[in-house]
Chains A and B, each alone.
Chain A
Amino acid sequence: MQKEILKVTDLKQHFPIKGGIFGRTINHVKAVDGVSFTVYEGETVSIVGESGCGKSTTGRAILRLDEPTSGEVEFDGIDLLSLNKKEMRKKRKDLQVIFQDPYASLNPRQTVGEILQEAMSIQNTVPKEKQHERIVELLETVGLGAHQMDRYPHEFSGGQRQRIGIARALAVEPQLIICDEAVSALDVSIQAQVINLLKKLQKEYKLTYLFISHDLGVVRHISDRIIVMYLGKIVEIADKKSLFTNPQHPYTKSLLSAIPSIHPEKRRERIILTGDVPSPIDPPQGCRFHTRCPFATERCTREVPELRNVVTDNGHQAACHYVEDIEAGIMQPVR
């Protein structure tokens, strides 16, 4: 059995909404509402879902960029939520994050060299006299040159900036990197380069990735296992192959079928969902997907489906009452 590096248990992130005459908290945005999963050392786990599903919020809650409302986040055997500020800051050395917009996360007044040096100094990972050498090494690792060390972020293209972001994350020799839509803003040809880089680094440094993305093509290429989220809850977890070839939850099925394909004739039949994602302020009772699900029954409006094993032996889990019935064709879409 592989080593568990990250274990998230019943994580909740409810953001208060203020209102009324006295500005009291009148409700909560239930952005993440009871999410549990495990990430093993050296693997890439992706969280996919559409906007508002809580995938980014989950990442931020794990890093404690926003304090989660409740739940447990165990990293390398330590409960992150029990750490005080100082301890957490130290722990961040092992947990790094790469954001979608590298430009916004790089200080425009620092050169690339300074950015990397600062990262190292904060965590004290490299002795001062070795820092320069290490910076050069890092830049070369991510496909930039030592001569670019004295340049400012605005002098780089989007793809290069993302490489700087990656170099900064690597500077502290982390164990886990959370990639929050890290390649989403990049053009296809550049995106491929960065994905290859991430895969190469994973091998070289034995990194674990928690890869948050809405792009299922990228996710299929990079992940070992995939978590599908909808409206703050996990609807399906499976290894890559099982998820893409044999999706079980009706939401995952429609999500996969909705992706435009460059071979439309080969694509499975499209299931177009009606309506929008409901508001996470008052999410639907029972199964959260029931308002859009083509198979929903009265039971779905009452009972919250638990995440359970649906395909034997390989850990494929889905949260739907009717997985088997739908699979067997007993249940037909009603809309």
Chain B
Amino acid sequence: MANESQNFDNILEIKELQTSFFTEDVEIKAVDGVTFDLPKGKTVGIVGESGSGKSITSLSILRLIDRPGKIVGGEIIFKGENLLDKSNEEMRKIRGNQISMIFQEPMTSLNPTYTIGQQIGEAYKIHEGLNKAEARKKSIDMLKLVGIPSPEKRIDQYPHELSGGMRQRVMIAIALACNPDLLIADEPTTALDVTIQAQILELIKELQEKLDMSVLLITHDLGVVAETCDYVAVMYCGKIVEYTDVKTLFSNPQHPYTVGLINSLPSHEEDIEGDLPIIKGMVPNPTNLPSGCRFAPRCPYATELCNTLPELVTDDNNHQTRCWIYTDEWNGSTEVKTYAERNS
């Protein structure tokens, strides 16, 4: 590849990505114009609730969208090249090699009929053309790397013989086998217990440094975001509503949705008197989204203006927010109760 040696500030740049699902007569815009950058060596989190389009965004990057879904627009620039221009065969060579992915359900993400060793070894066979013995040796090394005890024994076991945490370690071993530049982790710890989650997040962090990877972390868990990410994109109904560095997101959230989300999270670290602050209503039906700001029907500050879709506005600190409140046109209330204020 011509660009192999070139240095990029951003390993990944997503521009106006649009992925839709086509049912009988409606188009569901699961990802609707998503734009963000992933700086090299960093971890970017995409956080959102179900239906926000965060998982579809991640699957779109690897072009793993199945019918009736389709990427309908935008660009996915990986190391300077648009993945959407690649042939299927070129794309296949990138998957599991330069970009890898791990999924939410370690229980179901491994093939039950093959041993751990066969499944890790497959990656080496596909991308590095190694033979059985070489692949096995490297697979054992990989199992060691992800902290699986007695890898020589584990390698011949089947997935059902391993615990959930162990299986997720195996998934990580498969993903990292070919030393990818980018790891996409789609809710990697959601199905795991919290003590195991802590182990896995620690492992990903450690390997990221060791292998010089960039990570895109998809999660619904704000705590996980706070602990692992450098930058965060908050998604709601297929659109990014806020993008900033992780510190700013929690110290100074701007979008009313982000604020509401942080507030409604019951904390294990402090007592909240009385009711939890809530976001009223529920996520709108994806076939019938509001035409203006997607969050307007649930937003406590919404005005007439919100019937028009706001753009992502970037402030001086590169804090991007898709909300009219942060524009000059705004004339309504400016009191967005932040998390910090709630506690003061």
Contact = CB atoms under 8 A, between A and B. Distances in A.
Do A's and B's CB atoms come within 8 Å in the complex? yes
Interface of A: 50-51, 157-160, 187-193, 195-196, 199-200, 214-222, 240-241, 244, 254-256, 258-264, 266-267, 270, 272-273, 275-277
Given A217-B268, A258-B194, A276 B165 contact: yes
Nearest to A189: B279
B227 A264 contact: yes
Count chain A CB atoms within 10 A of each CB in B49, B195, B282 and give the residue with the most.
Answer: B195
Nearest to B203: A272
Nearest to B285: A157
B261 A188 contact: yes
Nearest to A264: B227
Given A255-B195, A260-B201, A262-B265, A189 B260 contact: yes
Contacts of B50: 158, 187
B226 A244 contact: no
Given A187-B49, A189-B260, A262-B250, A255 B194 contact: yes
Given A262-B265, A270-B198, 19 more contacts: A159-B282, A188-B49, A188-B265, A189-B264, A189-B278, A189-B283, A191-B264, A214-B193, A217-B268, A220-B268, A221-B271, A255-B195, A261-B227, A263-B226, A263-B269, A264-B227, A266-B269, A267-B269, A273-B199
A192 B163 CA distance: 31
A276 B260 contact: no
B268 A256 contact: yes
Nearest to A195: B276
Contact of B276 (A159, A196, A260): A196
B71 interface: no
A41 B199 CA distance: 39
Nearest to B272: A221
A188 B163 contact: no
Nearest to A292: B195
B115 to A, nearest CB: 19
A187 B187 CA distance: 14
B94 interface: no
A220 B267 CA distance: 7
Contact of A264 (B166, B226, B262, B278): B226
B6 to A, nearest CB: 34
Contacts, number: 128
B105 interface: no
19 contacts: A158-B50, A159-B282, A187-B49, A187-B50, A187-B283, A188-B261, A188-B264, A189-B264, A190-B49, A193-B278, A240-B271, A241-B271, A259-B194, A260-B226, A262-B225, A263-B269, A273-B199, A276-B165, A276-B196
A84 to B, nearest CB: 38
B294 interface: no
B222 interface: yes
Nearest to B48: A187
B277 interface: yes
A168 B202 CA distance: 43
Contacts of A51: 164, 193
A260 B221 contact: yes
A192 B278 contact: yes
A296 to B, nearest CB: 16
Interface of B: 49-50, 149, 163-166, 193-199, 201-202, 220-228, 250, 260-262, 264-269, 271-272, 275-280, 282-283
A270 B149 CA distance: 22
Contact of B223 (A50, A192, A262, A275): A262
A260 B165 contact: no
A254 B50 CA distance: 30
A221 B282 contact: no
Nearest to B227: A260
Contacts of B282: 157, 159-160, 189-190
Contacts of A50: 193-196
Most chain B beta carbons < 10 A, residue from A191, A221, A260, A275: A260
A196 B275 contact: yes
Contacts of B276: 192, 195-196, 221
Contacts of B221: 260
A200 to B, nearest CB: 8
Contacts of B227: 260-261, 264
A121 to B, nearest CB: 31
Nearest to A251: B195
A217 B265 contact: yes
Contacts of B165: 276
Nearest to B262: A262
A220 B226 contact: no
A189 B197 contact: no
A63 to B, nearest CB: 24
A260 B197 contact: yes
Task: Give the residue among B221, B261, B276, B280 with the most A Cβ atoms within 10 A.
Answer: B276
Given A189-B278, A196-B278, A261 B195 contact: no
B264 A192 contact: yes
Contact of A260 (B196, B224, B264, B278): B224
B261 A189 contact: yes
Given A187-B49, A189-B264, A258 B275 contact: no
A264 B277 CA distance: 22
Nearest to A267: B269
Most A C-beta atoms less than 10 A away, residue of B194, B224, B250, B277: B194
Contacts of A255: 194-195
Top 3 nearest A-B pairs by Cβ distance? Answer: A260-B223, A192-B264, A50-B193
The interface centre, meaning the residue of B227, B268, B278 with most chain A CB atoms within 10 A of its CB, is B268
A30 B142 CA distance: 34
B297 to A, nearest CB: 13
A257 to B, nearest CB: 8
A152 to B, nearest CB: 16
A190 B164 CA distance: 27
Contacts of B262: 262
